[in-house]
Structure 1
């Protein structure tokens, strides 16, 4: 099954890739590696906001992380001229969770993104990652995720 077919099966319609909000680019290709800048949980309803453990539950934050992963895939598609079959491997995800002091469920939050990568790319979606708690993120987003991807 193609990546596009998996997306359709999952009911996911990729959004237009987000533009940079500051002095950076959405992605950089170097050889067969591509770095995707941090993506926020933005969809047709707008940006999800809040601090995990106060404004959002772990489960709500995991949904936000999934939204970040959808936006990562949109950036990958743009960088690969529309051909998601060029993805050889999701190498790494970096997850940042805007959370209250003492919150320890960052891995469960970032699983929202990790699980989607495996659902969409199969074994090519298995990756290394970090899941870090932070005291703030841009625009008061609850989660931000970046990626390193190997492409053909």
Structure 2
């Protein structure tokens, strides 16, 4: 069953659909090609601003997972914008690629990116189950904790 009202589903879960951020450099926020929607990496940015930090140094895994959740919300906002607000055009989430700003010793990148994965499944149900990568990065743009990109299938 297609999700027709993304904002209502998020509100039911206690979240708001954020504004779609403008690109910070020479790229577009998303590209639709055929039945695929590629969404550029969304950085951890909450209601109080950018979520900065390095996992394994000054952030816990739980804090990182919350940061990843904000990336998932931004990905959903970009997907919603890409389909002109008609979220029923989104068939499923295909893949997430998560980058975690972490120390060389930190090894819980999958637990951090679960913050995004768990939210996607909560919002999209079975259509939110996806392939995924969760990798360490020595640094991320602006010093953010997490950046995640996505691929969705469209009707």
Summarize the alignment of residues 3-152 of structure 1 with structure 2, pairs less than 5 Å apart.
3-4=5-6, 5-152=8-155
Shift of 1:2: 4.6
| Secondary structure in 1 matching 2:106 | coil
Contact 1:90/1:124 (<8 A) preserved: yes
1:3/1:122 Cα in 2 relative to 1: closer, same or farther (>3 Å)? farther
Runs of 4+ in 1 over 3 A off after TM superposition: none
Residues 121 and 129 in structure 2, CA contact (< 8 A), matched pair in contact too: yes
**When the two structures are superposed, what TM-score results if normalisation uses the length of structure 2?**
0.95
TM-score when normalising by structure 1: 0.97
| Kept in 2: contact 1:3–1:121 (CA 8 A) | no
Measure the CA separation in 2 of the matches of 1:94 and 1:26: 15
8 Å CA contact 1:3, 1:120 repeated in 2? no
Once residues 62 and 127 of structure 1 are traced to their aligned partners in structure 2, the CA distance between those partners, rounded to angstroms, is 17
Task: Give RMSD over aligned pairs.
Answer: 1.1
Q: Matched residues in 1 for 2:77 and 2:135: separation? A: 23
Q: Which runs of 5+ in 1 are unaligned?
A: none
Contact 2:56 2:105 in 1 (8 A): no
* Ranges in structure 2 where 5+ consecutive residues have no aligned partner: none
Moved more, 64-73 or 38-47: 38-47
Shift of 1:111: 0.2
Q: Deviations over 1:108-134 (max 9, x none)?
A: 000000000000000000000000011
